């Protein structure tokens, strides 16, 4: 699992959306947008100077290789190898079907994604109204960066991050720890254990989201909070700048089909599905918000421009990892076909005429006190 799994903000692409039940919005263009895609409300103003810069690199970030995070390589497991990328090997003969690599390239993308989400949330790590949490669980912790930051913010809380891969750093706050575990199976934690359970970036990771939420409900203390941040597999625009037959529409179609074949949907926040699943698991009052993360430097707003720069960097860095396993193992494509497809997606991400953005959703809910 990976914390911060496919952006496709990143595994993404499409040309439309429909809003969560809790949000009023204007449908994004292109006009023939699919009703299943989420669509947040406010538009993003375009920087009028953007198109005058013919250099399509977001040079303000400098060398993208400088934005790296050091992680440890564990010898506990021999990772599976697919076309030079490594994947988790946890679970013996019953390995979880998780599509993302666990190598340095993909881990760096996760940390970049953590930064762009921090910018998007105004440097917040959560939206739920937490009050002095003592026991915290981070599902799919990935590199552990969210868990570490949360442990620093709440030094009196015991923060546990779980993942399929031992890719977390060894130097962590004393109140932060990591465990190898598979959250798709029955959890081993006792009832009423945690004050806060955090899930992020797990698109395409579970066959049964209701089961995951039911386990979260069971393991939360009365009054405890569950919060889930997730991305859509859509890349959208508000101004018609992306053609309806763009490569992003093809990406969306392919990942929809792959999710159907895999039995692990990539459309978690679409139509507020995760809100419905939380309610089916026993939660009552579920609040949700949607966020736009632009792709590239086209926004006029300084913060949105910075978010866009990091988003494009992370997407380009992670794009092969988002699709390699899914397209070869699930869809049956050849490695060469995957590379041709990825080249088209990268070209779309770099197209300065397309004012693209990805969509993130956040939903949080409280276990009843009684």
> Going by DSSP bridges, is the β-strand pair 194-200/286-294 parallel, antiparallel, or unpaired?
unpaired
**CATH architecture, range 50-366:** 3-Layer(aba) Sandwich (3.40)
Mean pLDDT, the chain cut into blocks of 10 residues (370 residues total)? 42 37 36 44 74 52 34 43 56 53 74 90 95 95 92 97 82 92 89 97 87 96 97 93 95 92 90 95 95 95 94 90 86 93 95 96 93
Cα separation of 171 and 129, whole Å?
A: 29
Domain borders along the chain are 50-366
Longest dimension (CA), the chain: 60
Q: Please give the helix or strand (H or E) that residue 282 lies within, else none.
A: none
CA 34 to chain centroid, in Å, comes to 20
* C-beta separation of 298 from 352 below 8 A: yes
Contacts of 9 (CB under 8 A, 6+ apart): 113, 231, 232, 293, 311, 314, 315, 358, 359, 360
140 dihedral zone (left: phi>0; alpha: psi -120 to 50; beta): left
The pLDDT score that the predictor gives to residue 342 is 92
Cα separation of 199 and 269, whole Å?
A: 13
CA 187 to chain centroid, in Å, comes to 22
The pLDDT score that the predictor gives to residue 1 is 47
The pLDDT score that the predictor gives to residue 30 is 37
The pLDDT score that the predictor gives to residue 34 is 40
The pLDDT score that the predictor gives to residue 107 is 74
Q: Record the pTM.
A: 0.78
């Amino acid at each position: 699992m990976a914390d911060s799994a496919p952006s496709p903000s990143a595994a993404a692409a499409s040309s439309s959306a429909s809003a969560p039940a809790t949000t009023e919005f204007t449908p994004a263009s292109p006009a023939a947008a699919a009703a299943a895609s989420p669509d947040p409300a406010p538009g993003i103003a375009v920087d009028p100077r953007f198109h005058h810069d013919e250099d399509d690199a977001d040079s303000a970030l400098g060398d993208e290789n400088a934005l790296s995070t050091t992680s440890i390589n564990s010898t506990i497991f021999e990772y599976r190898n697919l076309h030079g990328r490594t994947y988790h090997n946890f679970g013996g003969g019953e390995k979880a079907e998780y599509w993302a690599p666990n190598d340095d390239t993909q881990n760096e993308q996760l940390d970049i994604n953590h930064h762009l989400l921090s910018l998007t949330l105004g440097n917040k790590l959560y939206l739920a109204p937490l009050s002095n949490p003592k026991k915290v669980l981070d599902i799919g912790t990935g590199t552990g960066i969210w868990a570490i930051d949360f442990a620093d913010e709440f030094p009196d809380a015991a923060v546990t991050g779980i993942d399929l891969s031992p890719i977390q750093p060894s130097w962590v706050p004393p109140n932060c720890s990591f465990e190898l575990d598979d959250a798709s199976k029955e959890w081993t934690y006792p009832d009423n254990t945690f004050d806060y359970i955090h899930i992020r970036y797990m698109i395409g990771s579970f066959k049964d989201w209701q089961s995951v939420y039911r386990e979260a409900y069971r393991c939360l203390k009365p009054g405890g909070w569950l919060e889930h941040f997730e991305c859509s597999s859509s890349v959208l625009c508000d101004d018609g700048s992306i053609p309806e037959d763009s490569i992003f529409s093809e990406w969306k179609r392919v990942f929809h089909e792959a999710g159907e074949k895999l039995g692990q949907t990539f459309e978690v926040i679409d139509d507020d599905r995760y809100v419905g699943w939380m309610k089916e698991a026993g939660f009552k009052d579920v609040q949700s918000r949607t966020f736009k993360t632009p792709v590239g430097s086209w926004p006029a707003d300084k913060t949105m421009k910075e978010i866009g720069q990091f988003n494009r960097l992370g997407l380009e860095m992670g794009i092969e990892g988002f699709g390699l396993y899914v397209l070869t193992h699930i869809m049956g494509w050849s490695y060469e076909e995957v590379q041709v497809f990825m080249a088209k997606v990268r070209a779309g991400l770099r197209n300065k005429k397309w004012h693209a953005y990805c969509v993130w959703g956040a939903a949080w809910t409280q276990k009843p006190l009684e």
